[in-house]
Amino acid sequence: MLPIGIHLSYWQVKWDDDLLPLIQKAKSAGFEVAEFPLLFPGDLNYGALRAELDNLGMMASCGTGLGPGTDVTHPDSSIRKDGIKFLQSCLEGAAKLGSPGLGGVTYAPWGFFPEDDWGDRLKRCVASLKNVVKIAEDNNVLIHMELLNRFEGYLINTVEQGLAIIDEVDSKYLKLHLDTFHLNIEADHIGDEIRKAGKYLGHFHLVANNRKIPGEGHIPWNEVRQALKDVGYQGYLVTECFVNPAGEVGKGLFIWRQLAEDLDLSAKQAAQFIKQEMKDV
């Protein structure tokens, strides 16, 4: 079976909450992979985090998100340079943690919908990523671009849009990152969208349609499992669910009510569900 993991922000209330004790929480819940949010990559103690991973026999995956000040599509070249520098810091951090990839919103700012020409934005995105993939290669870490739903992003809402960017950048270090929460909104059929990604699928998130743990909601998991098998997916299976309305994390992800009574228990249930549903992927 493929390694299963959980995004550590599941337990965070603030985006800068200490990640070190959350690795044990992920382990205790039954996961093999801890997914790190690299939102402040320069502030993390990678040595301590890597030591804890090794001590617990855990693997790492990493994700991040660009913002207005690190927008690699921006008309201002200095802002684009800051974005590339930010992604470099994330890629170097991912390498230190032993993560094979850096996923998330790695190609445009999250939750931002510019008024200027999106075609020009796309061209600058491609140009920036051509620089970023060289850094990725230097660190032996893949860049994964996450398909977002229309309410959180505009540049990649479909696999076709993501593949078009991959074709333009033309690097084996650039892949797609799919998430069932977003696919549930944008895809006519989730399985078909996974198959379109094919060999370019680099990272996968398993989340309920309402951002609860997998097993809740109405995602067609049989369809997901078969599609992952069809494309020969060999990456991690990570749940990035958000169920706690507390603090800036809950507010930032639009979680306005408690979606799980016991976070640790729900995490264990998520791990059990993924192991059962995805055991033959």
Active centre residues (catalytic): 146, 240
Q: Is 211 left (phi over 0), alpha (psi -120 to 50) or beta?
A: left
Report pTM.
0.97
% of the chain beyond a pLDDT of 70:
100
Which 3 state secondary structure label does DSSP give 32? coil
Backbone angles phi, psi at 279, to 5 degrees: -65, -25
- C-alpha distances in Å from residue 108, one per residue of 186, 231, 233, 279, 281: 18, 27, 25, 34, 31
Among 197, 172, 164, 163, which residue's Cα sits nearest to residue 183? Answer: 197
Tens-digit pLDDT profile for residues 47-88: 999 999 999 999 999 999 999 999 999 999 999 999 999 999
Residue 90 domain boundaries: 4-277
CB-based contact 32:58 (threshold 8 Å): yes
Would you place residue 186 in the very low, low, confident or very high pLDDT band (cuts 50, 70, 90)? very high
Tens-digit pLDDT profile for residues 9-60: 999 999 999 999 999 999 999 999 999 999 999 999 999 999 999 999 999 9
Would you place residue 231 in the very low, low, confident or very high pLDDT band (cuts 50, 70, 90)? very high
Q: What is the pLDDT of residue 68?
A: 96
Total Cβ atoms within 10 A of residue 180: 24
Tens-digit pLDDT profile for residues 81-135: 999 999 999 999 999 999 999 999 999 999 999 998 999 999 999 999 999 999 9
- For residue 40, the domain's CATH number is 3.20.20.150
Would you place residue 5 in the very low, low, confident or very high pLDDT band (cuts 50, 70, 90)? very high
State how many domains the chain has.
1
Which 3 state secondary structure label does DSSP give 112? coil
Q: Is 180 left (phi over 0), alpha (psi -120 to 50) or beta?
A: alpha
